Chain A
Amino acid sequence: MVLITRKIEFSASHLYNNPNFSAEENRRIFGKCNNPHGHGHNYTLEVTVAGEPDPITGMVLDLKQLKDILEREVMQRMDHRHLNYEVPELAGQIPTTENIARVIWQLLDPKITQGKLHRVRLYESPDLFADCYRNGAAAAGKP
């Protein structure tokens, strides 16, 4: 099995606020991420697909197709958007890196038909990222 990874970047704004919490609780739990007008990040998304290289083409999947899927499913939905207000898939969820990574997995998984989606890694900054795997596959993804 070979893992192939494609990376894209998008920029978006968000804020963390749970309407079931009081203003003080929101402030205490989410800190400056609770600032009312939101803030933004340059997100880096790494999408890893697992599969066997096709003997004819040498490819696990057509990277152009993957690029198109990422453009349609992620860039058009999230790039230069406010994640709290403009992405219906995140409605009712706090747009944390964990939740965004999971939503991206759910968007991509059914669209990737050559090879199998192995990992979605979303960086909010170089020092913070979330990994989403199919449950049970995490150990296989460890270097």
Chain B
Amino acid sequence: MTSSLKLQLGRRYRFSASHRLHSAHLTEEENCRVFGKCNNPYGHGHNYIVEVGLSGEVDPATGMIANLADLDAFVQRQVLDDFDHKSLNEDVPAFRDQVPTTENLCVEIFQRLQSFPKARLERVRVEETGKNSFEYTGNNLEGNRP
């Protein structure tokens, strides 16, 4: 019965960061047209929510897929320490030559969390505001398989 079911753990984290959407490959007018007010020169900020989905066997001794203390510490180290109260453009190396859209942010966070040793990362969903969110499940539909 147990093995016929698949359990996923979901956990949400929050960070606040600033960004500016601007591409060096576009002219000033194009940047303005494509990114609108997100292209304003001094940037702006959001309260981001990151939702992480992990799957694995439930350890009968603990009842857990993964210990939340381990997961929280890992996410803190891999993502929140580098992103919270930072400028994504200036402080995160991946966004020096990549526009820090929430799509790209989602992929970057997925890559940073993929090496979690205790469970399989299935998906990363990032909410930029209450109205928009993006989700990345790795390269195949079944999610990442380490």
Q: Which residues in A have some Cβ–Cβ distance to B below 8 Å?
A: 16, 18, 20-21, 29-31, 93-99, 101-102, 105-106, 121, 126-139, 142-143
Contacts and interface: CB of A to CB of B under 8 A. Distances in A.
Given A94-B62, A98-B64, A133-B6, 12 more contacts: A29-B67, A98-B9, A98-B58, A101-B7, A132-B5, A133-B7, A134-B4, A134-B5, A138-B55, A138-B143, A139-B143, A142-B137
Given A93-B63, A96-B62, A96-B63, A139 B10 contact: no
Majority DSSP secondary structure for residues of A touching B: mixed
B31 to A, nearest CB: 30
B123 A131 contact: no
Given A126-B12, A127-B12, A130-B8, A135 B3 contact: yes
A105 B7 CA distance: 11
B26 interface: no
Contacts of B11: 127-128
A125 to B, nearest CB: 9
23 contacts: A29-B67, A93-B60, A94-B63, A96-B62, A98-B7, A98-B9, A98-B58, A102-B5, A102-B7, A129-B10, A130-B10, A130-B65, A131-B10, A131-B53, A132-B8, A134-B6, A135-B4, A138-B55, A138-B122, A138-B142, A142-B135, A142-B137, A143-B135
Nearest to B8: A131
B24 interface: no
A140 to B, nearest CB: 9
Nearest to A135: B6
Nearest to B3: A135
A136 B68 contact: no
Contacts of B12: 126-128
B55 A18 contact: no
A95 B6 contact: no
Interface in B34-72: 53, 55, 58, 60-65, 67-69
B62 A136 contact: no
Nearest to A28: B69
Contacts of A135: 3-6
B142 A96 contact: no
A9 B7 CA distance: 20
Contact of B58 (A20, A21, A102, A127): A102
A29 B122 contact: no
B139 interface: no
A47 to B, nearest CB: 14
